[in-house]
Every structure is written in structure tokens, then in C-alpha cells.
């Protein structure tokens, strides 16, 4: 089906820079650095006490639990010791984001989390990436959603006020995953960008755009194309994109 696409003038180079114009209030600088650098915070290292540079920050290889993990030299988050990127999370999905400091999360942002995991596409209770029509927002006040890490669940629940059935919302909230977790949601734009940054580690993605739960303007939702890396505004009766549920913990 042909789609009428409205694209931003700037192609977002998420993997290398992770920064989008502050006009849209996106804090991509807080997202994981490319694993290709070999020393991104939260990823595994080889020799304890080794120091290195990761972008503009210094990192140190520390033993936390039974794992060696790169840490920001000035900030040691002991919560990082349980999981690293690529591990299987408590929901049965792949860990794709590890925070150096805890972030607000949950239905009302009153909880704190350190990790994001993506729904698995293989194995028991696997999620199948499918394409869904646009989740228009006629009944949600503009500004009720956010683009930041940790806000995807709150965004997704805001969509429940829509006064008509919507598959992308209903199927995401109904998903339970391999371990019966009921808090899977459509990622916010920053969460979706973090997922894109680890798409090879997580795997199973389609070469097309994916929905976020972040409204950009009346009737339009941010999408991110997982092949072209373009940031898009999805909406209208003929706009379809895929979705991958995630959860925070």
C-alpha cells in the first residue's frame, strides 16, 4: 500500500550521534553509545581496572557480581551488575538499554528502572512484528505524551482513552511474553531510538518504520525507519508501521 509520508528535513544518524534537534525535546545524547566502539558503558569488558574513552567520557572496567562491565569512571551504578545489553531479561526479552543512573518509569512515572528489554520474536510466546494502521490521537490532549526514556508505558496507557478499538494498542497491552509479564508497552521515541541502536543484538526487525508512543502533533505520531534511519511523522488512514513491545524494570 502506498503511504503518504511526511519526513523531517534532517536524516537522523542515531547510531553514530544519537542526537536529534532539541526543537523536539529529544535527549538522544543519553542513549547507549555504539557498541562498535567496544567500550560503551554497560557493555562487557575483558580486564578489570582497564580504563578507556567512550565518546567524551572516561570508562573503567569493573567487576560487578561475576561480570566485567564498562562503567563511567565517575559514576558506578551497582544495579548494572545483574544484566548487560544482550542478556535475557525477566520478561523473556533481550536487554537493549542499560542506564548509568536509574530513570523514572511506570504508569505514573513514580517507579524507577535501570533496564529496557524488547519482546522476543523467537521461542515460546514470541511476538510477531506486524504492520498496523496509525494510532491517531483525537481524544488525547496534545502534550500528554513524552519522548523520553521511561515514558513509553505512561504514553501507551494514555492511548486507552481513545474511543475506538485500535489493534496496535490492544495487542501490545495484551501481550504477556514468555514469563507472563503484563507491563509491555509501545516504546517512546527515545526508547525506540535506543532499540534501533541495538537492533542487531535484539534481532527480528522488519526493514520498515516502527511506531513510537510519542505524539508529535495532532493526529501524528513519531516513527523511526529501521532501514533508512529516518525519523518520520506517521498518521492518516493509509499510514502503516510495525511495532515491537518493550518493558522497563
Euclidean distance between CA atoms 95 and 247, whole angstroms? 10
Euclidean distance between CA atoms 162 and 136, whole angstroms? 9
Q: Which three cell numbers stand for residue 173?
A: 497491552
H or E element in which residue 196 lies: helix 189-197
pLDDT at residue 80, rounded to an integer: 53
The answer, yes or no, to whether residue 248 has pLDDT greater than 50, is yes
Summarize pLDDT for 176-232 with one digit per residue, the tens. Answer: 999 999 999 999 999 999 999 999 999 999 999 999 989 888 778 899 999 998 998
Summarize pLDDT for 223-242 with one digit per residue, the tens. Answer: 999 999 899 887 765 678 89
- For residue 80, the SS3 value is helix
- CB atoms under 10 Å from CB of 121, counted, come to 16
Say if residue 237 is exposed, middle or buried (CB neighbours under 10 Å; 0-12, 13-18, 19+).
Answer: exposed
The answer, yes or no, to whether residue 172 has pLDDT greater than 70, is yes
On whether the CB atoms of residues 52 and 71 are closer than 8 A, the answer is no
Closest CA to 152 of 187, 101, 116: 187
pLDDT at residue 151, rounded to an integer: 95
pTM over 0.75, yes/no: no
Q: Give the rounded distance of the alpha carbon of 34 from its chain centre.
A: 15
Euclidean distance between CA atoms 224 and 241, whole angstroms? 9
Calculate the alpha carbon distances from 115 to 23, 42, 101, 153 in Å: 27, 10, 10, 14
Amino acid at each position: 500500500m502506498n503511504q503518504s509520508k511526511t519526513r523531517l528535513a534532517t536524516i537522523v544518524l542515531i547510531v553514530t550521534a544519537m542526537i536529534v534537534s532539541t526543537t523536539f525535546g529529544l535527549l538522544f545524547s543519553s542513549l547507549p553509545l555504539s557498541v562498535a566502539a567496544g567500550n560503551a558503558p554497560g557493555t562487557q569488558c575483558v580486564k578489570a581496572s582497564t580504563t578507556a574513552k567512550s565518546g567524551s567520557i572516561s570508562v573503567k572496567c569493573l567487576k560487578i557480581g561475576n561480570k566485567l562491565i564498562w562503567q563511567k569512571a565517575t559514576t558506578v551504578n551497582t544495579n548494572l551488575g545483574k544484566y548487560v545489553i544482550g542478556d535475557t531479561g525477566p520478561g523473556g526479552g533481550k536487554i537493549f538499554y542499560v542506564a548509568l543512573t536509574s530513570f523514572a518509569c511506570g504508569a505514573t512515572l513514580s517507579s524507577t528502572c535501570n533496564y529496557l528489554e524488547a519482546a522476543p520474536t523467537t521461542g515460546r510466546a514470541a511476538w510477531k512484528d506486524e504492520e498496523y494502521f496509525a494510532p491517531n490521537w483525537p481524544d488525547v490532549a496534545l502534550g500528554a505524551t513524552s519522548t523520553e526514556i521511561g515514558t513509553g508505558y505512561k504514553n501507551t496507557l494514555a492511548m486507552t482513552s481513545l474511543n475506538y478499538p485500535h489493534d496496535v494498542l490492544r495487542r501490545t497491552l495484551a501481550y504477556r511474553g514468555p514469563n507472563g509479564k503484563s507491563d509491555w508497552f509501545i516504546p517512546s521515541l527515545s526508547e525506540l531510538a535506543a532499540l534501533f541502536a541495538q537492533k542487531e543484538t535484539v534481532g527480528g526487525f522488519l526493514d520498515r518504520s516502527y511506531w513510537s508512543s510519542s505524539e508529535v502533533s495532532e493526529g501524528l505520531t513519531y516513527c523511526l525507519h529501521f532501514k533508512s534511519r529516518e525519523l518520520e511523522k506517521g498518521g492518516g488512514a493509509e499510514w502503516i508501521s510495525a511495532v515491537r513491545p518493550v518493558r522497563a524494570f
